[in-house]
Amino acid sequence: MKKTALITGATSGIGEATAKMLAEKGYNLIITGRRADRLKSLKEKLESNSTHVLELCFDVRNETEVKENLSNLPDNWKKIDVLVNNAGLAAGLDSIDDGNSDDWNRMIDTNIKGLLYVSYEVAQLMKENKIEGHIVNIGSIAGKEVYPNGNVYCATKHAVDALSKGMRMDLLKHRIKVTQICPGAVETEFSLVRFHNDADRAKTVYQGFEPLVANDVAECIWFAVSRPSHVNINDMIVMPAAQASSSIFLKQNN
C-alpha cells in the first residue's frame, strides 16, 4: 500500500521539490499552501506520475483554517505517514532596534505557530490510526547559530530546534519519529520574500558562491524518511561547500 505524505508550503522551493521527490518514490501526497493556482499546477504535474494528490489551500498561520482543513480530511486521506513541516520564511534583515513588528509577527506566526498547529492535527491522526509516523521539521543553520540582524528569524528557528527535540521525546511513546533538517544557504524564493520582493537585493545574497538548491534538501528529507523503522535521523545540517557557518562564506570575485 502506498504511503501518504503531507507537505506544507508546497507551492515553491523546498516544499515543491520534496513533493516531486516523494511522488517519484511512490507516495501519495497532500500538498498545502496559500497560492491556489500553484497548488493546482503542482497537482496536475504530480498526478501525471500515477500519484494521488489532495490539494489544500490554507495559511498555516491561521489556526482555524488549519483545524478545518486537517480535521475534516476525507477518510481515505486520514492515514498520514509523513508530515514535512516546510512552510516558513524570513522577513526583513534589520537590527533589533530598527525592526518591524509586522515582520516579527509574520515570522513567529509562520515558523513557530504554524508548525505547531499543523503538527498537532497530524499527530492526532497518526495516533488515532495507530500509524508509526514521521514528522520532518525544516529548520535552518539559523537555528544553530545567530548571525547579525538575524535576531527574530534566528529565534524562530532556534524554537524549531527546541520543538523538534521536545516533539521527539513526547511522541516517542506513539512510535512517531521526529527529524529536523537544517539547511544553510538555499537559492529559492527565500531571499525574495525576506526582502519584500526586491529581486535585485535578493540576487546579491547568492553572488560569488554556489548555494544549495531545493532538490539538495529534498534528497536529505528522502534519506531521513526512507531509513528502516529502527533508525531515526534526529538532526541533519546541510550546507553549501562554500559556507562554513551561518555567516562565513568563501566567495569568488566575479
Largest Cα–Cα distance of the chain, in whole Å? 56
Q: Which of 27, 147, 153, 206 is catalytic?
A: 153
Chain mean position to CA 230: 24
Contacts of 185 (CB under 8 A, 6+ apart): 205, 206, 209, 211, 212, 239, 240, 243, 249
pLDDT of residue 232: 98
**Overall size of the chain counted in residues:** 254
Is the separation of the CB atoms in 35 and 11 below 8 Å? Answer: yes
Whether the pLDDT of residue 119 is over 70: the answer is: yes
Whether the pLDDT of residue 10 is over 80: the answer is: yes
In this structure, of 109-113, 116-120, 174-178, 195-199, the range with the lowest mean pLDDT score is 195-199
pLDDT of residue 254: 54
pLDDT band at 214 (very low <50, low <70, confident <90, very high): very high
User: Which tops the pLDDT comparison, 149 or 1?
Assistant: 149
Write out the chain in H/E/C secondary structure: CCCEEEECCCCCHHHHHHHHHHHHCCCEEEEEECCHHHHHHHHHHHHCCCCCEEEEECCCCCHHHHHHHHCCCCHHHCCCCEEEECCCCCCCCCCHHHCCHHHHHHHHHHHHHHHHHHHHHHHHHHHHCCCCCEEEEECCHHHCCCCCCCHHHHHHHHHHHHHHHHHHHHHHHHCCEEEEEEECCECCCHHHHHCCCCHHHHHHCCCCCCCECHHHHHHHHHHHHCCCCCCCCCEEEECCCCECCCCCECCCCC
| Average pLDDT of the residues in 139-150 | 98
What homologous superfamily is domain 4-238 in, according to CATH?
NAD(P)-binding Rossmann-like Domain (3.40.50.720)
Looking only at the bridges linking them, the beta strands covering 235-238 and 177-183 are parallel
Whether the pLDDT of residue 244 is over 80: the answer is: yes
Domain ranges of the chain: 4-238
Is the separation of the CB atoms in 137 and 115 below 8 Å? Answer: yes
Burial of residue 108, with CB atoms counted within 10 A of its CB: 0-12 exposed, 13-18 middle, 19 or more buried: middle
pLDDT (tens digit, 9 = 90+) per residue, 131-144? 999 999 999 999 99
Burial of residue 37, with CB atoms counted within 10 A of its CB: 0-12 exposed, 13-18 middle, 19 or more buried: exposed
Rg (CA), the chain: 18
| Average pLDDT of the residues in 249-254 | 84
pLDDT of residue 197: 86
Catalytic, 206? Answer no
Whether the pLDDT of residue 31 is over 60: the answer is: yes
pLDDT (tens digit, 9 = 90+) per residue, 216-232? 999 999 999 999 999 99
pLDDT (tens digit, 9 = 90+) per residue, 93-115? 999 999 999 999 999 999 999 99
Q: How far is the C-alpha of 118 from the C-alpha of 84, rounded, in Å? A: 10
pLDDT (tens digit, 9 = 90+) per residue, 37-87? 999 999 999 997 689 999 999 999 999 999 999 999 999 999 999 999 999
